[in-house]
Every structure is written in C-alpha cells, then in structure tokens.
Amino acid sequence: MAKVLILDQSKSVRNILRERLEYEGFSTEAVENEAAASVLCEKIPFDVILSDTACKVPDAGIPFIALSTETSIDSAVRAVRNGAQDFLTKPIDMNRLLQSLHRTIDNPAPAQAAPQQAPARRSRRAHPSQAEQIIGISPEIEHVRRLIDKVAPCEARVLITGENGTGKELVARWLHAKSVRAAAPFVEVNCAAIPSELIESELFGHERGAFTSAVKQRKGKFEQADGGTLFMDEIGDMSPAAQAKVLRALQERRISRVGSDKDIEVDVRVVAATNKDLREEIRRGNFREDLYHRIGVIVVRVPALREHAADIPLLTDHFIRLISAEYGLAPKPIDPEAVAALQAMPWSGNVRELRNVVERLLILSDGRITAADVKAYCN
C-alpha cells in the first residue's frame, strides 16, 4: 500500500484529500506545516508528498507533487524548479491527481533542489530520469498522458502520429514502461534509415550465407524484442515487400529469417510511429490498408509544439537544467521577455528544435539569457 503525506495549511483540503485517497487504497497522513511533516518523514517511509506551494517540503528525498491556487505557467515553472514531479491547480481534479500519484510512485525520482553551483566535472546524461519525462501541463499534453495511462496496460497495437521532433519515441517508451512488458526489451528500429534491400534482414534476421555479406547468423529486431516491445519508427517509409512480411508477422505471431524456411514464434507488442498521413499513403498505393488496420488499433497523436506553446516555459526551464547538468554548468536564468520571444517562434522542428535552441543559447549567451540573445541566435 502506497504511503502519501498531505501537507496543506487548509484543514478542509487535508480532510478531502485524505478521505478520497484512503478510499482509493492509499495510506495517508496529513499535516499543516513543515515541522510536523519533517517529524513524520523520519518515522514513516512515504512514497510521495502532496504539498501546497505555500508550504515548504521537508528535505527528505521524497518525491512530491505541488498543489496551488495559482494557475499561471510561472507558478508551474517555479514548482518544477524546486523539484516537484507534477503541478496541480486547486480545486483539485481527483482523476488527474490519481494519475499523477501513480506516475510518481511507479517512476520515482527523488526531489532535488535546484543546483547552486556547477558540478566539479562534466557529466553527460547526468539526469536520465529527467530526460525521460513528458514535460507540460497544457490540455494537449495531458490528453497524451491520459491515453498512455489507458493504453499501456493492454496489449493493443499503437500507432503514434505527429510531426518530426514532437516526441513520438518518448511516448513509445512510456507505453512500454507502463505495460506488463516493462521488464522485457524495448527495441527500436528506424524504418526510414535502413536501405530497402536490408530492411527484411534488419527486422527478421538472416542465416549464415543468406547473402554475400551474411558471414554469420543474426537475429532480427522481432526476435530481439521477444517478450517486449518493438518500436517501428517511420513505418510509413517501408517498402511494399517489407510491409507484407510485417503483416504476416503480426497476423501469425511468427517470422522467418532471410535464407531460412523455418518459422520462429515471437511474442512482441508492436508500437509504430509515422510523420506521414497513412490514409493518404494508402490512397496513393504506397501503404497497405490491411497493415494500417493491424498497427493502428489505437492511434495516439502527439501535438506539434505550436499547438501547445503554453508549455514552452516549462520545456525551456527543463532543457536549461538538463543541458547545464550535461555540460557541468550552473543553470543560467532566462528573462521573461526571452521566454515570450521563444513562444512566438513557429517551431517547425518542434520540441527537438527547442532543445537545440536552448543548448545554443546556453553556450552563446553571457550571464543570463535575454530577448536580444533569442533574436541574435535563433533566427
């Protein structure tokens, strides 16, 4: 039973949250100030703290979710900078709170204070757990999170659509992480990056001598992902011949290596992604309609960054902290005018482009990132 500490100055809020969470099966304690919270944290191994932003969270290394009456993006940014795993506004949407609690408990990341000085040495990928988070509190991103929570536990195949750079692979990884296959392999293959003459060998493997350079037997991606999830990125770029073999593998749950007539059973959940309109590709004769219906049991559309520009302040702050840690630097402050300038940009490259822009600004700006920096280095 997960243990939750409720830290809020309002007795009515504490009572409402405690009653609902205990009804949902959580073990709860509720206090009104940091001193009382600190005492309980020394006695009870809480899994998560629900804390009003007016209260100071005990420095106990316990993940916490921030609750606030403020609805501004600035408030959310401050909460995340202070280490919050999520930011919820009052009155609390209980369904969203429960989703947030389960996400935090299932994927714990200890609360961390914002770094005060640069680390002694540069460390690439210093905070991999941060890099794996889906950042944003906009309705568009919340919709994606809700779909992940609903779809991940089942075995249905998922097609993730969206423009380049929107984060389709991240969604696929979360679908795997929240599934019953989470302990098994997550194997990815970029169908657009592999020459058409090699795609079958890449997906299904080959026997020794199957072709000139096949000097030894090799397992393909389907076999490597057995028991887990196979993420087929840019599936709309596969050749018709490869599409037919993938369709057979999905229908019969078995594959055969190139150069072999022996069938091999595989237990794989396929999650596919594309930046193309597959229905249009079907109309043009470039994609098999039967394969589309096989892979698209559930369709998750990842919005373009311009569709949830309200999340740009949170994303920018996240990338500043993440990239600064990778370079072993103290995070630079960014002026509100600079953030507004970033929000006004078209972002054809979406979140991937934003990350690159933030990295450029961190390298080229002086003590802080200004609107002038954005104008100078981002156009």
Q: What's the number of domains the chain is made of?
A: 3
Provide the CATH number for the domain around residue 331: 1.10.8.60
Under the banding of pLDDT at 50, 70 and 90, the label for residue 122 is very low
Task: Indicate the pTM of the whole model.
Answer: 0.71
Say whether both 311 and 270 belong to one domain. Answer: no
Task: Looking at the structure, tell me whether residues 292 and 163 fall in a common domain.
Answer: yes
* Mean predicted lDDT score pLDDT of the chain: 86
Q: C-alpha dihedral over 49, 50, 56, 62, to 10 degrees? A: 20
Q: What pLDDT score was predicted for residue 141?
A: 94
Check whether residue 187 and residue 82 sit in a common domain.
no
CATH number of the domain where residue 230 is located: 3.40.50.300
Does residue 277 share a domain with residue 364?
Answer: no
Domain end among 296, 320, 344: 296
Q: For residue 182, tell me if it sits in a domain.
A: yes
Does residue 149 belong to any structural domain of this protein? no
Residues 286 and 315 occupy one common structural domain: no
Residue 141 is assigned to a structural domain of this protein: no
Verify that 289 and 309 share a domain, yes or no. Answer: no
**How would residue 107 be classed by pLDDT, with cut points 50, 70 and 90?**
low
Question: Does the residue 135 lie in any domain?
Answer: no
- With respect to residue 339, please indicate whether it lies within any of the assigned structural domains: yes
Is residue 224 within 8 Å of 178, Cβ to Cβ? no
Asked, for residue 357, whether it belongs to a domain, the answer is yes
Q: Are residues 289 and 330 in the same domain?
A: no
The pLDDT confidence band at residue 108, using thresholds 50, 70 and 90, is low
pLDDT above 50 (res 127):
no
Nearest to 56, CA basis, from 79, 88, 26, 85: 79
Domain boundary among the residues 296, 316, 346 is at: 296
b/e 54-69 (16+ beta carbons within 10 angstroms → b): ebebbebebbbbbbbe
Range of the domain at 95: 3-106
Q: For residue 126, tell me if it sits in a domain.
A: no
Kindly report, residue by residue over 186-238, the tens digit of the pLDDT.
999 988 877 777 788 889 888 887 776 677 888 889 999 999 999 999 999 98
Identify whether residues 312 and 365 lie together within a single domain: yes
Q: Report which of residues 123 and 33 the model is more confident about.
A: 33
Same domain, 278 and 195: yes
Among residues 87, 106, 125, the one where a domain terminates is 106
Asked, for residue 320, whether it belongs to a domain, the answer is yes
- In this predicted structure, the answer to whether residue 156 has a pLDDT above a threshold of 70 is yes
Q: Residue 114 above 50 pLDDT? A: no
| CA–CA distance, 344 with 228 (Å, rounded to integer) | 41
Tokens of 266: 């595989």
d(CA 69, CA 52): 9
pLDDT tens-digit map of 339-375: 999 999 999 999 999 999 999 999 999 999 999 999 9
CA–CA separation, 128 vs 117, rounded Å?
20
Domain check: are 218 and 288 in the same one? yes
Are residues 348 and 269 located together in one domain of the fold? no
- Return the CATH number at 31: 3.40.50.2300
User: Do 311 and 346 have their domain in common?
Assistant: yes
Q: What is the pLDDT of residue 261?
A: 83
